[in-house]
């Protein structure tokens, strides 16, 4: 289960809805998903633009099925979402990149 909140970017006047974790268990799950350096690399690669499974697999030298598995885990953690052209980082994922990665 998720909570949707509105996030306002300090650099713009527009507010954007973001899915957020509803419980401590959801938050813990997301942190466990992001413990794997490969998944953080994937999130970082996606943060710049929409990427396909094939692009992800090629960039990280993975099979497409394995890339898809890790992408689905990131999606369950609410840090990426599937779009028509592939995968993109969510506002939650971008906030993690900005705040969480900076501390590690």
Q: Which domain holds residue 30?
A: 2-103
CA distances from 93 to 20, 61, 63, 80, 101 (A): 10, 22, 23, 6, 10
In terms of average pLDDT, the best of 1-5, 25-29, 80-84 is: 80-84
Give mean pLDDT, residues 23-43. Answer: 90
Please tell me the total count of domains within the chain. Answer: 1
Band (102; pLDDT cuts 50, 70, 90): low
- The CATH number of the domain where 40 resides is what? 1.10.10.10
Whole-prediction pTM: 0.76
pLDDT reported for residue 9: 46
pLDDT for residue 27: 80
Task: Please report the pLDDT score of residue 30 as a whole number.
Answer: 87
């Amino acid at each position: 289960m998720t909570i949707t909140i509105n996030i306002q970017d300090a650099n713009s006047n527009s507010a954007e809805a973001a899915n957020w974790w509803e419980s401590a268990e959801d938050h813990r799950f997301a942190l466990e998903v992001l413990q794997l350096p490969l998944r953080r690399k994937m999130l970082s690669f996606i943060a710049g633009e929409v990427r396909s499974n094939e692009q992800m697999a090629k960039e990280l030298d993975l099979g497409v099925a394995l890339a898809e598995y890790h992408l689905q885990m990131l999606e369950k953690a609410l840090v990426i979402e599937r779009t028509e052209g592939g995968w993109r980082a969510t506002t939650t994922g971008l906030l993690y990149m900005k705040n969480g990665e900076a501390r590690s």
